[in-house]
Amino acid sequence: MKRIHLHVNVEETKFDSSVDFYRTLFGAEPTTTRAHYAKWLLDDPAVNFTVEVLEIAGDVPGIHHVGIQVDAEGELEGIRTALEAAEAPLLEVGRTQCCFADSEKNWTADPQGIRWETFRSFGQLEHYGAKTDEELSLYTKNLAGEG
């Protein structure tokens, strides 16, 4: 199954009110909660919606990135093939631990510079994990190198 992923960066002072807003909007408690991190995995609509306080230099509140989460390796490869056909920039991260999950992921950007993450997760982690230096650079510029 494919699921749309929306990742929203909020200011620390607005985190609790943002979680309350989305809890009410979705009519559901977050699936995962940690300090400054809340994620809803919903089937209706099929979305992975994350609200987080990101403390990365140059990052601003708002929609941080969008993406597509898949359940099977073949689905991830199919998206990668489509990105290549679209001649989109591609940052292949591979296996990683990020956002409290063990995952495999790639990044791209659309022609406007909107960051897209394509990934599948293998399980939950108790720690946040770490982003690669290449991933961190995406937060201040797009994959085409424009910033």
Does residue 59 belong to any structural domain of this protein?
yes
The CATH number assigned to the domain holding 79 equals 3.10.180.10
- Residue 18 confidence (pLDDT) above 90: yes
Please tell me which residue, 65 or 95, carries the higher pLDDT value.
65
- Residue 71 confidence (pLDDT) above 60: yes
Measure the CA angle with vertex 47, ends 91 and 130; round to 5°. 40
Indicate the pairing of strand 101-109 with strand 91-98: antiparallel
Structural domain that includes position 57: 2-138
- pLDDT tens digit sequence for 88-144: 888 887 777 676 666 788 888 888 888 898 888 787 756 555 666 666 565 555 554
- Closest Cα partner for 104 from 72, 133, 134, 81? 72
Taking CA atoms, 49 is separated from 11, 79, 96, in Å, by: 17, 20, 20
- Residue 44 confidence (pLDDT) above 60: yes
103 forms beta bridges with 96, 121
Does residue 145 belong to any structural domain of this protein?
no
Does residue 19 belong to any structural domain of this protein?
yes
Total count of domains within the chain: 1
Does residue 146 belong to any structural domain of this protein?
no
Tokens 């699921």 locate to 3
Does residue 86 belong to any structural domain of this protein?
yes
d(CA 23, CA 45): 14
Taking CA atoms, 39 is separated from 22, 105, 112, 138, in Å, by: 10, 18, 26, 21
Does residue 36 belong to any structural domain of this protein?
yes
